[in-house]
Structure 1
């Protein structure tokens, strides 16, 4: 990660991916604060980009990362026009699932989330083992096999 980006947003720890994002008006409530759902959408954007970066693809008949469980911790709010950094790192993996952690930063941590993602075919819901390539990529980014 670029040291200047780490300093600008107060990012701590090691992360597999980082994305800069400007809070849009459409992500805000009537008080111009980012709506709670906006944080989860930022995580979704990071999740999609990460899946593509590690060799995954999206199609109705191809396995993809479907959210099975998600938890969120809101620490501080941000507002329209604020610049934030969104980070993602894989934590653990099993045969058909893996866990990722997300964080949003602006002068330190303002939000964090953890999600369990299941490798499944969207059209049928059938769980599919993670491919060797995806497993290798996740382990290379720090995920631990459970």
Structure 2
């Protein structure tokens, strides 16, 4: 992300990924306020893009991330047609799990979230270690091993 994007959305800190989004009517309640689940869907969209950018896949028999826990904090509301930036950064990792931090920005921080992701084999649900190449990329992006 460049300094113009940081200034446009009021982004602070280091982030591995940024995705722009415009709040759609379908993400709003009858008063044109973004529904609380819309924020989580934005995080899901950037999480999937991030996994694919790391070389991960979503295919039967392949390991992939599953959300095991999340903590969210809503700072300010969003409304229909607001332009926002959604950011992601890996925070910590263990043998078969890692955490992501997410933030949604519009004139500063409006939403923050942390998820605990567990790697499981798609199809069987069996817990699996983080693939070595993906682990290395997460560390390059700032994740610290616990």
TM-score by length of 2: 0.99
Following TM superposition, by how much is the alpha carbon of 1:122 offset from its aligned partner in structure 2, in angstroms? 2.6
2:123 equivalent to 1:112: no
TM-score by length of 1: 0.99
Q: CA RMSD in A?
A: 0.6
- Which stretches of structure 1, 4 residues or longer, exceed 6 Å deviation after superposition? none
2:9 equivalent to 1:12: no
* Residue 45 (structure 2) aligns with: 45
Q: Deviations over 1:76-118 (max 9, x none)?
A: 0110100000000000000000000000000000000000000
Query: 2:18 is paired with a residue of what secondary structure?
Result: strand
Following TM superposition, by how much is the alpha carbon of 1:123 offset from its aligned partner in structure 2, in angstroms? 1.4
2 CA distance for matches of 1:23 and 1:60? 32
Q: Deviations over 1:15-51 (max 9, x none)?
A: 0000000000000001100000000000000000000
1 CA distance for matches of 2:12 and 2:31? 29
Following TM superposition, by how much is the alpha carbon of 1:59 offset from its aligned partner in structure 2, in angstroms? 1.1
User: Structure 2 stretches of 5 or more lacking a match?
Assistant: none
